[in-house]
Amino acid sequence: MAEAAIVRVRHCGAAIFSRRAPERCPACGRPLSGSALPAAPLRLPSPFRHGHRQPRAFLLRPTAGTFLGGYDGKSDLHVGITNSNGVVYNYDAEGVHRAGTGWEQCISVPLVQPHMFGLLQQWDQLLEEFSAGEAWLPHRYDEHEHNCYTYALAFINSILTAQGKREMSKSEFTEKFVIPQTKRAARYMTLHQELTANDFYIVPLPQQEKQC
């Protein structure tokens, strides 16, 4: 199912969010068609990606449901790593799964740059060999100490080590790559929830941004 658009216009010293560009400002009633450039409608980019179309990436999604399908911001999250074809390798109490569906709305962190030709070619083999390790057998799983995040980060660190680079701790990787994405996602989810219940969501702009 296609994700509903979120559009922002600026008018009356406020950011006005809606599903489609309004003809008139909902605050003052004036037409927006002839307004200054800052009032032009802007479609907000979604922070979510179709995970199976994100090759060689770290993916994050709710364990149950979807981010825009009622996620409360507190329930458990699940992570995985994609191969070059968008198959999601992920670890849980049943071992390593190779999922071709179920990750259609995710936060995605690309892991390989286009110039890394050697790694691009070897990625699938490295991921498959890593996933076959005894560390990822079902009985080794522990919800808190040896889980999906442990698996994903261990694979990422195995790649870094092979490249002669320093490994990353969970907190370091999360702070550098995951938190910026989840902050954007949280803001977007707030807008989505507001516009599910209302036609408009109006947020006063900081003084320095009140251009129209």
Nearest residue to 187 via CA among 8, 56, 60, 31:
8
- What is the full DSSP assignment across 148-183? HHHHHHHHHHHHHHHTT-----HHHHIIIIIHHHHH
pLDDT digits (tens, 9 = 90+) for 31-58: 887 666 566 789 999 999 999 999 999 9
DSSP code of 47?
S
Task: Note the pLDDT of residue 186.
Answer: 94
Mean pLDDT of the chain: 91
Least confidently predicted of 75-79, 172-176, 182-186, 208-212: 208-212
Neighbour order of strands in the sheet with 77-82:
95-99, 88-92, 77-82, 57-62, 107-110
> Quick one: average pLDDT of 164-178?
96
pTM of the model: 0.88
> Quick one: average pLDDT of 8-29?
89
